[in-house]
Structure 1
Amino acid sequence: MNLIQVNKIDFELFFIGTTVTQNLCEGSIAGSVAGNKFQLNLVIGLDEAGDQKINVFSLLPYPMYPKGKKIWFNTKRCSLNKQITTILIPFINLPIIKQLSVSISFFITLISGLWNNRSKQCIVLVYNVFSPFSIPVLLATRLFNCKSVAIIADLPFDDYDFKGLKGILQRIDFYVQTHIISKFSGVIGLTSKIISEFAPLLPSIVIEGGIDIIDEGTTFSIPKKDKEIICLYSGALNEINGIKLLLDAFNLISEVDFRLWILGDGPLSCLVEQAAELDNRIVYWGKVSNQQAKICQREATVLINPRPSDNKIAKYTFPSKLLEYLLSGRPVISTRLPGIPEDYNPHLIFLETETSHDLAVLIQEVCLGDTYDIDTIGTNGRKFVVSKKNWTCQSKSIHDFLITL
């Protein structure tokens, strides 16, 4: 079957997730910028990939009470672009009740959408297999004999500590999430390990993410001294992402012209603030907009992804920051994570031994030595992601996968 025939198949797409505008996501402490960008670009890409209509139903990212003060959220429409509008489902923002109300709302909203399109072939995609999302999707698609596809970007390895009474509920949810994957019609995983370990018999495709090369304009500017050698990290500040390793490594670098820029927020932000107070070469930017982060990345000498490869979640995740890093056109130092596809290897400088000493040595070799042609490495990395990992290509691959189910 050729592409023209494929695009003429009459089917309807439904997308269940937390998709909102990027501005709305960045304005919420509960929103994941990387996760929202993935969803937003995928939804827009799928809409452009074929003739089918895409219906988007979303849960508004908002912290649970009492961290978030608002309790009742009504149905609301939110325009993602000129063509696509998401329906924000109603829910009650109280512990336990929130999960139940989200499940019921997604189920009712999806049932209504499937009923209105019952004469068509329908495919329902759900972003991650969090129980209040995945269970209503599976129930609704079973009722209407539709295809269901799980997009697995995150599993709750890093969110749950499995301690105390709350830990019992976490274990139950963890079991449900990891065992419910095999009930779907197909799986889209960020890494091959997700598929091989949790859904080896299902139709599947690996899509680690993509880059959006359109939204590059900004009015944000940064003063930079000619002699400064800027090492940059952007992302969540937690142990999983290797912040301690990076700070320890930079502490071993004595050259006064080196700078360490850290952008982001998280549990270890206090540790970063303390390091910046002790060493004036460390600049902690705090949480910045995605556009500001892109400008900082382009100003840097080298970008660093210090996430430990031996962490239990490493084989199930792909650090989305690598795509943005490579897009900047600057060289990227990274640990050799099992979730990084092999076609990235020529464009990354790998830290083979994950110690602070070895990272410090590698940073200095990259920035000061003759071993690496950093401008060529950076340019080739950008060409790679622009041509091979843009969302037009990635969405086309997913679209072609969906019509084979």
Structure 2
Amino acid sequence: MKVLLLGSLISSEQMEKFNNNSKEKASVAPVNYEMMLVKGLVENGAEIEALSVPAVAAYPHSIYKRITANKEVIEEKIKAQWVPFVNIQGLKQLSIQRNVEKLLKQWLEENRKIKDKIVLMYSIYPPYSEPAIRLCKEYCCHLCAVIADLPEYMYSWKNMTGIRGWYSKRLSKKMLALQDKCDSYVLFTKPMAEKMGIENIPYIVSEGFCDADIFKDIPDQEKYERKTILYGGNLSRLYGIQNLVKGFMKTDLDAELHLYGAGADAGFIEECIKQDSRIKFFKRVDRKTLLIALKRAHLLVVNKPTEDDYSNYSFSSKILEYMASGTPLLTTKVGGMPEEYLKYVYIIDDESIDGISNALTTVMANTSQALCLFGKKAAQFAISDKNYREMTKKILTFLQVQLCGDK
């Protein structure tokens, strides 16, 4: 089978370069997912190419006024063609749409005689989903969309104001109108199907991948001398960071809370450090430094509030990454988490400040040995049952069935 991945796949080196030159950092989660997706598909026998729109903040939030066409070979196997565009808001989306249409049409023409081909699209981002939906129908090419987050929440949850707020609402409306126009779907959670109104369109649920290889260059690490709780990622109320910090401050634990990342609540954290010396703030660090820290910590935390409807239709890619580290995870039970995970993670049942304080106290009462054993069991589950090779094998089988049905 020949697959064209339409998304934002670029090399990690290029992604880091873009983020280092941007005030607003693009999430690396989509690129990490797409990387494992293409690796798994290749290892399961598919022929892969990528048509990529690099995720970079629009000028002046980055130094880039224009992204030029570029070709790179990723993982020595996947040919990626960058879509060029003018990186200025408004012009950015128009130029992406125009150039995706040109390059996608070119690929479809070149592969017109190949019957077993498919366009696999990451998200329903209108600048590239609109031409993809139209052209795939014109060329009778199967179009499958990967939905990691509900289209209606992709922009609205950010609560942007002004021109950016107006534009984000416009994009959300477009995505809602397009969300049922694909031939099949890979969904991160089962509840998404009903919410999107696509129960009668073929779909498969795959909540993400575990990539044990991310730790292959990280040797076994000694745990921190003092028990350590670690959170890494977006530092904002949307991810429950204030309740986590306040909950920790209410404990009398002989432990430290290590925080990594950037976000709107960075100032709040710096103020809390003045009140509680157990809190350590490392800001944004390179990936290897963070991976080492994940292995050295005694407990990792994902504190996404479940009262937010958005969270109950999503599954955080961070959960599998944390589980693969071998360090135990304490997390909220978002609606998209399958029941099979509950044996391998600690759950925050009460997400109030007192509830988080009690959860941290209860879990950290375990011995270091008991925590280590629990973390190892979670790692075995994630690596054996949720590794990207096995998960992409299921996706590829699903896609092959869809192609057979199209004939």
Q: What is residue 128 of structure 1 aligned with on the other side?
A: 123
For 1:174 and 1:341, the matched residues in 2 are separated by 27
Alignment of 1:183-202 (within 5 A): 183-198=181-196, 199-202=198-201
- On the 8 A contact 1:157/1:312 being kept in 2, the answer is no
Q: What is residue 8 of structure 1 aligned with on the other side?
A: none
1:210 aligned onto 2:204? no
Q: What is the identity, as a one-letter code, of the residue corresponding to 1:232?
A: L
How big is each residue's C-alpha offset from its partner over 1:95-152, in whole Å with a ceiling of 9 and x where there is no partner? 1110010011111111101100100122111111111121111011011011111111
**SS of equivalent residue, structure 2 residue 309:** coil
Q: CA deviation at 1:165?
A: 5.1
Q: CA deviation at 1:346?
A: 0.6
- On the 8 A contact 2:251/2:357 being kept in 1, the answer is yes
**SS of equivalent residue, structure 1 residue 280:** coil
Counterpart selection for 1:115 from 91, 109, 117: 109
> In structure 2, do the counterparts of structure 1 residues 238 and 221 end up closer, same or farther at CA, with 3 Å as the change threshold?
farther
Alignment length, in residue pairs? 392
Counterpart selection for 1:376 from 373, 395, 401: 373
Q: What is residue 288 of structure 1 aligned with on the other side?
A: 285
Counterpart selection for 2:334 from 337, 344, 348: 337
Q: What is residue 39 of structure 1 aligned with on the other side?
A: 34
**SS of equivalent residue, structure 2 residue 77:** coil
> In structure 2, do the counterparts of structure 1 residues 252 and 60 end up closer, same or farther at CA, with 3 Å as the change threshold?
same
Q: CA deviation at 1:28?
A: 2.6
For 2:128 and 2:341, the matched residues in 1 are separated by 32
Q: What is residue 139 of structure 1 aligned with on the other side?
A: 134
Q: What is residue 6 of structure 1 aligned with on the other side?
A: none
> In structure 2, do the counterparts of structure 1 residues 47 and 211 end up closer, same or farther at CA, with 3 Å as the change threshold?
same
- On the 8 A contact 2:328/2:372 being kept in 1, the answer is yes
Alignment of 1:257-268 (within 5 A): 257-268=254-265
**SS of equivalent residue, structure 2 residue 121:** strand
Name structure 2 gaps, 5 residues minimum: 20-24, 403-407
For 1:70 and 1:165, the matched residues in 2 are separated by 20
- On the 8 A contact 2:121/2:144 being kept in 1, the answer is yes
For 2:257 and 2:158, the matched residues in 1 are separated by 31
Q: What is residue 392 of structure 1 aligned with on the other side?
A: 389
Structure 1's consecutive aligned runs of 4 or more residues displaced over 6 angstroms after TM superposition are: 219-224
- On the 8 A contact 1:17/1:58 being kept in 2, the answer is yes
TM-score (norm 1): 0.91
For 2:200 and 2:175, the matched residues in 1 are separated by 17
Q: Mean Cα displacement is larger for which, 211-220 or 142-151?
A: 211-220
Q: Mean Cα displacement is larger for which, 162-171 or 243-252?
A: 162-171
For 1:204 and 1:291, the matched residues in 2 are separated by 35
Q: What is the identity, as a one-letter code, of the residue corresponding to 2:47?
A: K
Q: What is residue 247 of structure 1 aligned with on the other side?
A: 245
Q: What is residue 398 of structure 2 aligned with on the other side?
A: 401
Counterpart selection for 1:24 from 4, 9, 14: 14
Q: CA deviation at 1:46?
A: 0.9
For 1:298 and 1:163, the matched residues in 2 are separated by 39
Q: CA deviation at 1:262?
A: 0.7
1:311 aligned onto 2:326? no
For 1:343 and 1:224, the matched residues in 2 are separated by 28
- On the 8 A contact 2:187/2:193 being kept in 1, the answer is yes
For 1:166 and 1:283, the matched residues in 2 are separated by 34
How big is each residue's C-alpha offset from its partner over 1:259-293, in whole Å with a ceiling of 9 and x where there is no partner? 00011112222222222233221111111222222
For 2:160 and 2:212, the matched residues in 1 are separated by 40
Alignment of 1:8-157 (within 5 A): 11-29=1-19, 30-50=25-45, 52-121=46-115, 122-154=117-149, 155=151, 156-157=154-155
For 2:92 and 2:394, the matched residues in 1 are separated by 35
**SS of equivalent residue, structure 2 residue 176:** helix
**SS of equivalent residue, structure 1 residue 177:** helix
Q: Mean Cα displacement is larger for which, 149-158 or 112-121?
A: 149-158
Q: Mean Cα displacement is larger for which, 173-182 or 244-253?
A: 173-182
Q: CA deviation at 1:93?
A: 1.1
Q: Mean Cα displacement is larger for which, 200-209 or 21-30?
A: 21-30
For 1:293 and 1:162, the matched residues in 2 are separated by 29
- On the 8 A contact 1:220/1:292 being kept in 2, the answer is no
Q: What is residue 354 of structure 1 aligned with on the other side?
A: 351
For 2:348 and 2:296, the matched residues in 1 are separated by 22
Counterpart selection for 1:279 from 276, 279, 303: 276
Q: What is the identity, as a one-letter code, of the residue corresponding to 2:51?
A: F
How big is each residue's C-alpha offset from its partner over 1:281-306, in whole Å with a ceiling of 9 and x where there is no partner? 11111112222222111111111111
> In structure 2, do the counterparts of structure 1 residues 95 and 165 end up closer, same or farther at CA, with 3 Å as the change threshold?
closer
How big is each residue's C-alpha offset from its partner over 1:38-66, in whole Å with a ceiling of 9 and x where there is no partner? 0111011111212x321101112222112
TM-score (norm 2): 0.91
Q: What is the identity, as a one-letter code, of the residue corresponding to 1:242?
A: G
For 2:15 and 2:132, the matched residues in 1 are separated by 24
What's the C-alpha RMSD, in Å, of the aligned pairs?
A: 2.1
- On the 8 A contact 2:223/2:297 being kept in 1, the answer is no
Q: CA deviation at 1:235?
A: 1.3
**SS of equivalent residue, structure 1 residue 211:** coil
**SS of equivalent residue, structure 2 residue 64:** coil
Q: CA deviation at 1:15?
A: 0.6
Q: Mean Cα displacement is larger for which, 353-362 or 212-221?
A: 212-221
For 1:148 and 1:111, the matched residues in 2 are separated by 14
Name structure 1 gaps, 5 residues minimum: 1-10
**SS of equivalent residue, structure 1 residue 235:** strand
> In structure 2, do the counterparts of structure 1 residues 269 and 220 end up closer, same or farther at CA, with 3 Å as the change threshold?
farther
